[in-house]
C-alpha cells in the first residue's frame, strides 16, 4: 500500500515520527495558503475596486510562516528547499500584480504557482518515502471510513498517532506532583501486597498487545498479541518474584481465546516470537491466555483487554 521507511533503532523511529508530524502541520498551513492564492488568481480581486493581492494573503502567509518556524528544524531539507522556492515565486508575483489586477493578467502566474506547489508535494512524498495510493489499494482501506481520493497520502502509522494523540491532552506527570489530593484513599500497604502477589501468581508473565489500522475489508485494526516477562532488578524489600520462565524457556505453549467472533481458541508454540498471535478485529475484545509450562508447573491464565481507537480522523 505504501513504502514505509525502514527503521532499525528507536532514535531513527523518533526522528521519522517527528518529521511526519512536522510535514502534517506545515503542509496543512501551506495548502491553505496555496488554495487562497489559486482562488484569487482564478477569480480576480474581490469587490468592484479590486484589492492589494499581498494584503489579501497576509493572514494565510503568517499562519504558514508560524507553522514553518515551529517545525522547520525536523523537516527534510528537500521539503524546506521546495517550500523556499514556492515562497520566492509567490513574493515575486505579489510585486508584478501590484495593488490591483485582472484575471487575464494572472493566468500564466496561476500555472507557475501550480507547478511550484507540485514540486513541494513531490519533495514531501519522496523524502518521507510515501507513495500515492492506487485505485486497487484504495479498496483495501474502505473499512477505515475515509472519503479517500487517488492523490491523497495515507500512512497507517500516522493515522494511529493521530487517533491516540487526544489521549495525552493536558498530560501531567502526576508521579512527580503527588499530594494528598492525587493519592488514593486505599490502604497503600494492602494494595501493594495484592500487586506483588499478582507477580507471584503470574510468575512475572503478562500479555501485551499493539495495533495498527487494518487494510482488511470489514476490519478496523490489526492486533499483535504476545507474552512478555517482567524483569526484576535484583533482591530488595517487598520484591514479589524473581522467576524468568520466558527467558529460561520453561513455557511449552500458550492458548488464546478471544471470544466467539473468532474461530479459536488459538494454540501458539512459537517461542522465538514470544508466542505471538496476530489477528484483525472490528472491535475491542477480552483476551484470555492460558500458559502451559514444560517443567511440571500447573498452567496459569492471564488476561488482556485488546483495545484500540477507530482511526476516522483525516491524515
What's the pLDDT tens digit per position in 265-312?
A: 999 999 999 999 999 998 899 999 999 999 999 999 999 999 988 654
Supply the angle between the helices 10-43 and 58-71 in degrees, to the nearest 10.
170
Q: Which CATH class is domain 190-306?
A: mainly beta
Mean pLDDT calculated for residue range 68-86? 86
Give yes or no for residue 201 having a pLDDT over 50: yes
- Model confidence at 262: pLDDT above 50: yes
CA pair distance 7, 2, nearest whole angstrom = 15
Hunting for cell 503470574 — which residue is that?
202
Q: Which residue has the cell 474502505?
A: 142
pLDDT score of 297: 93
Contact 304, 287 (CB under 8 A): yes
Q: What is the mean pLDDT of residues 137-161?
A: 51
Question: Is the separation of the CB atoms in 146 and 314 below 8 Å?
Answer: yes
The predicted model gives 207-234 an average pLDDT of 86
Closest CA to 214 of 162, 286, 142: 142
Q: What is the pLDDT of residue 306?
A: 94
DSSP letter for each residue of the chain: ---PPP--SHHHHHHHHHHHHHHHHHHHHHHHHHHHHHHHHHH--SSTT---HHHHTHHHHHHHHHHHHHHTTTS-HHHHHHHHHHHHHHHHHHHHH-S---HHHHHHHHHHHHHHHHHHHHHHHHHHT--PPPHHHHHHTGGGT----TT----HHHHHHHHHGGGGTT---TTTS--TTTS-SS-HHHHHHHHHHHHHHHTTEEEEEEEEE--STT--EEEEEEEEE----S--TT------TTTTT-EEEEEEE--TTSS--EEE--GGGTS-EEEEESS-EEEEEEEEESSSPPPEEEEEEE------S--
Residue 63 to residue 27: CA distance in whole angstroms: 11
For the ranges 71-75, 127-131, 216-220, 225-229, the lowest mean pLDDT is seen at 127-131
Digit-coded pLDDT (tens) for 16-74: 677 778 888 888 888 898 888 888 777 766 654 456 777 888 889 999 888 888 888 87
pTM over 0.75? The answer is: no
Averaged pLDDT of the chain: 77
**Cα distance between residue 36 and residue 40, in whole Å:** 6
Residue bearing the bigger pLDDT, 226 or 313 = 226
98-120 residue pLDDT tens: 555 555 555 667 778 888 888 88
Cell of 118: 507540485
Domain ranges of the chain: 10-131, 190-306
Amino acid at each position: 500500500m505504501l513504502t514505509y521507511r525502514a527503521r532499525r533503532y528507536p532514535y531513527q523511529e523518533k526522528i521519522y515520527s517527528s518529521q511526519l508530524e512536522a510535514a502534517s502541520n506545515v503542509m496543512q498551513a501551506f495548502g491553505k495558503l496555496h488554495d487562497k492564492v489559486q482562488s484569487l488568481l482564478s477569480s480576480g480581486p474581490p469587490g468592484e475596486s479590486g484589492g492589494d493581492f499581498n494584503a489579501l494573503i497576509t493572514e494565510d502567509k503568517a499562519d504558514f510562516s508560524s507553522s514553518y518556524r515551529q517545525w522547520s528544524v525536523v523537516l527534510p531539507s528537500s521539503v524546506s528547499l521546495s517550500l523556499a522556492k514556492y515562497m520566492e515565486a509567490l513574493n515575486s508575483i505579489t510585486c508584478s500584480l501590484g495593488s490591483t489586477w485582472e484575471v487575464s493578467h494572472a493566468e500564466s502566474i496561476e500555472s507557475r504557482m501550480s507547478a511550484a506547489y507540485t514540486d513541494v508535494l513531490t519533495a514531501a512524498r519522496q523524502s518521507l518515502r510515501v507513495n500515492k495510493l492506487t485505485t486497487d489499494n484504495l479498496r483495501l482501506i474502505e473499512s477505515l471510513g475515509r472519503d479517500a481520493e487517488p492523490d491523497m497520502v495515507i500512512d497507517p502509522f500516522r493515522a494511529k498517532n493521530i487517533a491516540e494523540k487526544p489521549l495525552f491532552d493536558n498530560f501531567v506527570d502526576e508521579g512527580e506532583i503527588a499530594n494528598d489530593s492525587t493519592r488514593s484513599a486505599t490502604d497503600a500497604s494492602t494494595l501493594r501486597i495484592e500487586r506483588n502477589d499478582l507477580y507471584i501468581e503470574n510468575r512475572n508473565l503478562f500479555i501485551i498487545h499493539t495495533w495498527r489500522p487494518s487494510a482488511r475489508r470489514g476490519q478496523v485494526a490489526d492486533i499483535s498479541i504476545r507474552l512478555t516477562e517482567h524483569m526484576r532488578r535484583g533482591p530488595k524489600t517487598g520484591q514479589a518474584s524473581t522467576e524468568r520462565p520466558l527467558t529460561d524457556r520453561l513455557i511449552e505453549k500458550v492458548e488464546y481465546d478471544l471470544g466467539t467472533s473468532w474461530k479459536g481458541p488459538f494454540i501458539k508454540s512459537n517461542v522465538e516470537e514470544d508466542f505471538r498471535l496476530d489477528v484483525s478485529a472490528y472491535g475491542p475484545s477480552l483476551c484470555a491466555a492460558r500458559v502451559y509450562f514444560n517443567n511440571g508447573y500447573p498452567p496459569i491464565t492471564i488476561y488482556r483487554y485488546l483495545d484500540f481507537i477507530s482511526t476516522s480522523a483525516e491524515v
